[in-house]
Amino acid sequence: MIPIKVVGAAGAAAKATEPRSPAASALQYLQPGALNLAALPPLSLYIHFPWCVRKCPYCDFNSHEARGEFPEQEYLDAVRLDLERTADAVLAVDELVSNTITHGGGFGQLAAWTDSGRVVFEVSDAGYIDDLLAGRRRTPLTSSSGRGLALVHHHSDLVRIYTSPKGTAIRAYFNLF
């Protein structure tokens, strides 16, 4: 368990007031700088091998007893590729959402679905992109910004931009196979 302490004004306000609703109590933690973590939360990753020597009694995963040669290297290659593609998707979608907050009026919508062997993420907002080649042109080295859409293009298999004066929707496609 990681201890969490309220610091600053949010902590003082919490002591000054007596009974509060759970929602009001939770809001104090949403203030910038209100949380002080003594340590980073633990990170763990469980990778299940679907070819077992025998089925474990506690296992709920789809698994089968191994018959013949165990395809360990092929499976590890597939897991590595899956993790890399997940990291690509997280990075691209994070960039799109950040751009929505910065350039799209401060809010937007995120949708995700699968279509024809692809995962599609769409971020839409009220912004307008007047350069349809944004993210495709090289950004000057002297510029301190302007690389976000290029990053999205680099990590996605396909990017489609739909923009009009009413708003913009950007779709990032990631092949599943």
Residues 49-89 pLDDT 10s = 666 666 676 677 776 666 777 777 887 787 788 888 888 99
Among 161, 166, 167, which residue's Cα sits nearest to residue 148?
Answer: 161
Same domain, 152 and 66: yes
DSSP of 50-63, one letter per residue?
A: SEESS--TT--S--
The winner for highest mean pLDDT among 20-29, 32-41, 46-55, 102-111 is: 102-111
Higher pLDDT, 43 or 75: 75
Same domain, 163 and 89: yes
Model confidence band, residue 6 (pLDDT cutoffs 50, 70, 90):
very low
% pLDDT > 90, the chain = 29
> Does 130 or 2 have the greater pLDDT score?
130
Indicate whether 14 and 98 sit together in one domain. Answer: no
Binned at pLDDT 50, 70 and 90, residue 172 comes out as very high
| 15 and 64 inside one domain | no
Residue 42 lies inside a defined structural domain of this protein: no
**Structural domain includes residue 45:** no
Is the pLDDT assigned to residue 131 strictly greater than 70?
yes
Enumerate the β-bridge partners of residue 113.
120
Q: Residue 160 pairs with which residues in a beta bridge?
A: 171
CB 170 within 8 A of CB 96: yes
- Do 78 and 165 lie in one domain? The reply is yes
20-24, 25-29, 146-150: least confidently modelled range = 25-29
Which structural domain, as residue segments, surrounds residue 22? 4-37
DSSP reduced 3-state for 73: helix
Residues 31 and 66 reside in one and the same domain: no
> Which residue intervals of the chain are DSSP H helices?
8-16, 22-27, 72-103, 148-155
Residue 92 located in a structural domain: yes
Helix (H, G, I), strand (E, B) or coil at 163: strand
Question: Per the domain annotation, does 43 fall within a domain?
Answer: no
pLDDT at 122 over 80: yes
Q: What is the mean pLDDT of residues 137-147?
A: 82
pLDDT band at 25 (very low <50, low <70, confident <90, very high): low
Count of residues for the chain? Answer: 177
For the ranges 18-27, 70-79, 100-109, the lowest mean pLDDT is seen at 18-27
